[in-house]
C-alpha cells in the first residue's frame, strides 16, 4: 500500500519541526526519505502551493513523490483529485489528522492513518530539537452512527463533483446568469459549477445568492464557498452560520468554514457547536473545529 502524506498537517504534529520555519518542508521530506529507505513504502507528499526556492529537497526522489496544489486549490483538494483519478484508490492510505479530508478520501475509496499514529513510525527526532508532542484533537469518527448523516453528505457531494467535472465546459457568465435566474434547479447547478470552476469571479454572485428565498440555493452557495477555498468568504460564512433561518444552510456554512480552515471562523463555530438549536449543525460545527485545529498555522 502506498501512502499519501498531507504534508503541512503532518508537520503540525511533528515534535521537531514547526510550521512556518524556512526549512519545514525540506526537513519533513528528509524524514520521509529516511522512512522510505527502511520501510519500502512509496510516498506521495502534498503541500499547499507556495513560493518555494529552487531547493533540490523540494523535488521528488525514488519512492518519494512531491506534489504542490495548483493556484486557487488547497492541498486537500489536490489529494482528493489525485485519488479520484487513481485506478485503484483503495491501494492508498492518506496520513492526516484533518477530519474533513478523512471523510472525503474515504468517500472515494481510500483509507486513512492518523498523523499522530504515523509519526511513531518515523523514528525519534534529533534530541536537540525535541518538543512535547501535543495530544491529538479529538476527531469525530465517520463510522460513528452519530455522524453518519454528515459522512453521507460528503459521499454525495464527491459524486456530484465528479459528475460536474465530466460536463462540457461552459462560459462562467452563463452559470452566473443561471444563478440569478428564477429556475431553482438551474441555480443549484450553477452554484455547484461556480464552486468548482468559478474562481474569484464567483465570489460576488455567490454572495448575492445568500439572500435567495430558497434555502437550497443558499446552501449550495455556502458549499460552493468551501469548494473555492477563498478566505474572503469567511465573513459571509460566519454570518450565515449565526443568522440563517435554515438549518441546512447553517450546516453548510459550518462545513465550508472547516474546509477553508481560516481561524477567523473559529469563534462562530464554537458558538454554533454549543448553542445551535439543531444537532446536525452542532455536529458539523464540532467537525469543522477539529479540522481547523488540526491545521496548525
pLDDT tier, 152 (very low <50, low <70, confident <90, very high otherwise): low
Q: Give pLDDT tens digits for 75-87.
A: 888 899 999 998 8
Residues 80 and 203: their CA atoms lie apart, in Å, by 23
Residue with cell 469571479: 201
Helix (H) or strand (E) holding 98: none
The rounded distance, in Å, linking the Cα atoms of 149 and 105 is 16
* Domains present along the chain, CATH in parentheses: 2-129 (3.40.50.1010), 169-294 (1.25.10.10)
Task: Give Cβ neighbours of residue 193 (< 8 Å, ≥ 6 apart).
Answer: 164, 167, 170, 175
Stretch among 45-54, 57-66, 183-192, 198-207 having the lowest mean pLDDT: 45-54
Whether the CB-CB separation of 118 and 14 falls below 8 Å is answered with no
Helices 184-197 and 215-228: crossing angle, nearest 10°? 10
208 contacts 194 by C-beta, under 8 angstroms:
no
Cβ contact 195:228 at 8 Å:
yes
pLDDT mean over 114-134: 63
What is the SS3 assignment for 72? coil
Distance CA 22, CA 26 (A): 9
Name the residue with cell 448553542.
275
**Structure confidence by residue, pLDDT tens digits, 234-263:** 999 999 999 999 988 999 999 899 889 898
User: Is a pLDDT exceeding 70 seen at residue 275?
Assistant: yes
Query: Within 13 Å, how many C-alpha atoms sit on residue 292's CB side?
Result: 24
Its sign, for the CA torsion 202, 106, 1, 163, is negative
Residue 175: CB atoms within 10 Å? 21
CA trace torsion 224, 227, 231, 235 (10° rounding): 30
| Interhelix angle 215-228/234-243, nearest 10 degrees | 150
Which residue did the predictor score with more confidence, 279 or 202? 202
φ/ψ of 93, rounded to 5, equals -125, 130
DSSP-derived secondary structure for 163-226: HHHHSPP--HHHHHHHHHSS-HHHHHHHHHHHHHHTGGGGHHHHHHHTT-SSHHHHHHHHHHHH
Beta bridge partners of 92: 2
Question: What are the strands, taking DSSP E only, across the chain?
Answer: 2-6, 43-47, 64-68, 92-95, 111-113
CB 297 within 8 A of CB 263: yes
| Per-residue pLDDT, 123 | 64
Identify which has the larger pLDDT, 25 or 152.
25
Amino acid at each position: 500500500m502506498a501512502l499519501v502524506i498531507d504534508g503541512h498537517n503532518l508537520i503540525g504534529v511533528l515534535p521537531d519541526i514547526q510550521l512556518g520555519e524556512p526549512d519545514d518542508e525540506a526537513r519533513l521530506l528528509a524524514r520521509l526519505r529516511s522512512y522510505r529507505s527502511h520501510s519500502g513504502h512509496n510516498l506521495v507528499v502534498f503541500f499547499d502551493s507556495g513560493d518555494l526556492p529552487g531547493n533540490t529537497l523540494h523535488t521528488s526522489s525514488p519512492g518519494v513523490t512531491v506534489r504542490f496544489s495548483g493556484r486557487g486549490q488547497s492541498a486537500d483538494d489536490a489529494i482528493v483529485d489525485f485519488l479520484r483519478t487513481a485506478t485503484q484508490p483503495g491501494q492508498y492510505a492518506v496520513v492526516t489528522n484533518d477530519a474533513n479530508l478523512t471523510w472525503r478520501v474515504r468517500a472515494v475509496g481510500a483509507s486513512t492513518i492518523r498523523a499522530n499514529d504515523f509519526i511513531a513510525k518515523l523514528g525519534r527526532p534529533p534530541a536537540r530539537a525535541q518538543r512535547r508532542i501535543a495530544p491529538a484533537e479529538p476527531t469525530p469518527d465517520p463510522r460513528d452512527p452519530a455522524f453518519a448523516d454528515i459522512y453521507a453528505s460528503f459521499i454525495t457531494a464527491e459524486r456530484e463533483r465528479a459528475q460536474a467535472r465530466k460536463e462540457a465546459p461552459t462560459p462562467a457568465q452563463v452559470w452566473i446568469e443561471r444563478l440569478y435566474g428564477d429556475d431553482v434547479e438551474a441555480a443549484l447547478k450553477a452554484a455547484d459549477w461556480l464552486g468548482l470552476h468559478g474562481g474569484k469571479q464567483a465570489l460576488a454572485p455567490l454572495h448575492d445568492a445568500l439572500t435567495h428565498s430558497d434555502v437550497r440555493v443558499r446552501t449550495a452557495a455556502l458549499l460552493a464557498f468551501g469548494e473555492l477555498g477563498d478566505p474572503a468568504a469567511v465573513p459571509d460564512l460566519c454570518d450565515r452560520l449565526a443568522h440563517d433561518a435554515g438549518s441546512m444552510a447553517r450546516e453548510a456554512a459550518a462545513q465550508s468554514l472547516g474546509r477553508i480552515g481560516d481561524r477567523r471562523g473559529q469563534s462562530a463555530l464554537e458558538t454554533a457547536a454549543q448553542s445551535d438549536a439543531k444537532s446536525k449543525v452542532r455536529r458539523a460545527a464540532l467537525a469543522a473545529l477539529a479540522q481547523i485545529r488540526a491545521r496548525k498555522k
